[in-house]
Amino acid sequence: MNLESRTAIEALRAGVPNRAVVRLMGAGNAGLEKDFRALLDAAGTRPGIGFAGGFGTGKSHTLTSLAEVARERRFVVSRVVISKETPLGDFGRLFEAAMRSAALPDRNDDALSASLTTLRATPDKLTAFQEVVSRPDSGLCGIFAAILFLLREPSQAPEVVRRCERFLAGGRMPSSVFRKPLVQHHASRKFNLRQPPAAELAAQRIRFASLLFRAAGYAGWFVAFDEVELIGRYSPMQRALAYASLAVWLGLDDTTRFPGIAVVYAITDDFVAAVVDHRHDQDALPDRLRRKGRDADAMHALTGIRHIRDTVQNHRLVAPNEEELRRDGQRLREIYARAYDWRTPQVPAIERTATRTMRQYIKGWITHWDMLRVTGAAVSVVERPLGNNYAQDRTLGASEEDTE
């Protein structure tokens, strides 16, 4: 049995493609990959991108393949699935999720901790990074420079180091936690430890993390957002905040763009018709934010909605053609044969239709081979289409900012 092949088959059977699937089956959308490589080249200086597709068309596979490209280019990679725990409109929780999932391209360590360790091992680089963070135009408050100052001390107490790392990763921590060690180093008055409001602090943490990864020698930070369509189930105010948050993460307004970050999101291809147009989001939600005095959020929300509309109209994953089906079917047959050390028969004939997705073809092939291998009997696969659920659920995305 070939372990990587078996891992790939199990992932495909579950409908959750992993890195083994990408390595063995290939990346897929060449046009999108070309655009993505250009985005990596200009990380932080041009807006992020999105793509759309129906259920089973390969959105997760595509994000996984783009992550592999980013790793090859020495980007730190984070993948965030929008969910109840990670609502798109909550900057703080999104950042924490991105940091938890952040993976280095060259080793299996915590990305933030490992990057700080790399800089601490090279005092000159750490000093240079502190100077960058301390500049008035850095967009960062004084607590970040204070933390780097504390980390410059080689014999710093391990508990202080852990608290610094927890704060930088999104942990809630009062400024007084850092005041005592600064006093011990005669630097109590050197830094302004006042923290900005929560949303602004989250944005500054994003900016700091990106600068940190590059200072540690990485090319940048790739953040992938999956299942963005979940915002269709939010309340109106939470949808408005989610659209605004997406626009900021993507850097659609160059005045709020994060340096060194490349962002890509995946969304369903019926989202605009079923949510944006059906609920009149483009007109109603920015106006709702303006009435609350949140003009900047209103502008970002409108920009985010327009970006989603353009993505759904112009950047869709399409159904596989006959050549792609033959190619992928043969690749899957070879992987299956290695996975089970079994002489796998030819790919079964499955009628090609405009609505059948790649996931349906793959699941059908695997199920057919499974039954032949285990029971010796061929089976017919019954398909049932699944629609997207956009019914409002007030428990999703709820936060103290939902002031309706």
pLDDT in tens, 137-163: 999 999 999 999 999 988 899 999 999
Which residue ranges make up each domain of the chain?
30-105+218-314, 112-204, 322-375
More confident of the two residues 353 and 358: 358
Domain 30-105+218-314: which CATH class?
alpha beta
**Beta pairing, strands 220-226 & 261-267:** parallel
Which of 67, 60, 54 lies closest to 14, judged by CA? 60
With cut-offs at 50, 70 and 90, classify the pLDDT of residue 351.
low
Mean pLDDT of the chain: 90
**Average pLDDT, integer, range 199-206:** 94
Range with the poorest average pLDDT among 59-73, 77-91, 356-370, 378-392: 378-392
Asked whether residue 87 carries a pLDDT value surpassing 70, the answer given is: yes
With cut-offs at 50, 70 and 90, classify the pLDDT of residue 353.
low
Tens digits of residue pLDDT in 157-181: 999 999 999 999 999 989 889 999 9
Asked whether residue 224 carries a pLDDT value surpassing 70, the answer given is: yes
**Average pLDDT, integer, range 120-146:** 94
Asked whether residue 398 carries a pLDDT value surpassing 80, the answer given is: no
Which of 304, 301, 248, 255 lies closest to 95, judged by CA? 248
Asked whether residue 21 carries a pLDDT value surpassing 80, the answer given is: yes
Q: b vs e for 293-313, b when ≥16 Cβ sit within 10 Å of the residue's Cβ?
A: ebeebbbbbbbbbebbbebbe
With cut-offs at 50, 70 and 90, classify the pLDDT of residue 94.
very high
Asked whether residue 347 carries a pLDDT value surpassing 60, the answer given is: yes
What's the pTM value of the predicted model, to 2 decimals?
0.87
Contacts within 8 Å (CB) and 24+ apart, 104-111: 104/76, 104/218, 105/70, 105/71, 105/72, 105/73, 105/74, 105/75, 105/76, 105/77, 105/218, 106/74, 111/76, 111/213
With cut-offs at 50, 70 and 90, classify the pLDDT of residue 97.
very high
Contact 55, 388 (CB under 8 A): yes
